[in-house]
């Protein structure tokens, strides 16, 4: 995992800080197997947007693994000490009690490994908000969703399928996103919440994570972006439009509501 951190850092897009961070998640793709896989993550910043829009490397590694079939995350390695934002995000995982975190030393020579609980003692957690399950649990997908208005667009249905993976136990704001890039590749992402709210990721963020980690090419070649959601006390529409304006200013966000 540590040897792969320099590779993960190559995926970083950091026009604001110029500080690359890489992460590697050790995951299981089957709950019945002892075999594991490694997935990379890197930080992403967005020119012209607030710093709160930034995707952190640990978030990217977790989401990249989850959207490619991970059912359990056992450990994560990172090239720089996790910030409080990331420590809180990792605390949302179903495996938070056993999660191991390896941190590379600043000079690159050696590393330390700690339990997640050592990084964030006395954490504010899902149980404080009466939520028992965590992110990437065995609870599976949400029931099949339907749109308020008819569409036969396959990309809209992909966004709807992504919404069925939503993790939103605090607001119940179900949402999913599809983005298509100019080479016709398609990426989807669901909305992901955390108990502390701020480390949550919009569905456009999670779709961008998949796009970023699939290629070293520069982002900005998005040709379509579709958001489906069931608004509650919050909505993903505004933040998604702002973010899309940063990465693809000529593209309009296509928006559909879920019944």
Catalytic sites, residue numbers: 58
Three-point CA angle 26, 197, 121, nearest 5°:
60
For residue 213, give the nearest of 80, 16, 65 by alpha carbon.
Answer: 65
The Cβ-side half-sphere exposure at 193, using a 13 Å CA radius, reads: 22
What are the residues whose beta carbons fall under 8 Å from the beta carbon of 252, sequence distance 6 or more? none
């Amino acid at each position: 995992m540590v040897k792969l951190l320099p590779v993960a850092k190559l995926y970083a897009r950091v026009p604001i800080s110029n500080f690359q961070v890489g992460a590697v998640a050790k995951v299981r793709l089957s709950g019945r197997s002892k075999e594991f896989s490694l997935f990379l993550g890197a930080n992403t910043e967005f020119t012209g947007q607030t710093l709160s829009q930034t995707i952190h490397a640990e978030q990217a590694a977790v989401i990249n693994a989850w959207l490619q079939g991970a059912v359990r995350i056992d450990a994560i390695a990172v090239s720089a000490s996790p910030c409080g934002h990331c420590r809180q995000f990792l605390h949302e995982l179903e495996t938070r009690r056993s999660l191991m975190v390896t941190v590379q030393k600043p000079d690159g020579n050696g590393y330390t490994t700690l339990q997640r609980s050592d990084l964030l003692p006395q954490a504010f957690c899902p149980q404080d908000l009466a939520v028992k399950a965590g992110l990437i649990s065995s609870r599976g997908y949400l029931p099949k969703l339907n749109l308020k208005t008819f569409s036969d667009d396959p990309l809209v249905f992909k966004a709807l399928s992504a919404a069925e993976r939503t993790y939103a136990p605090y607001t119940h704001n179900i949402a999913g996103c599809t983005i298509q890039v100019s080479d016709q590749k398609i990426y989807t992402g669901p909305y992901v919440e955390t108990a502390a709210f701020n480390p949550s990721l919009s569905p456009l963020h999670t779709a961008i994570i998949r796009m970023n980690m699939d290629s070293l090419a520069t982002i900005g070649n998005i040709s379509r972006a579709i958001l489906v959601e069931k608004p509650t006390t919050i909505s993903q529409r505004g933040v998604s439009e702002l973010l899309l304006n940063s990465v693809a200013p000529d593209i309009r966000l296509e928006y559909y509501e879920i019944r």
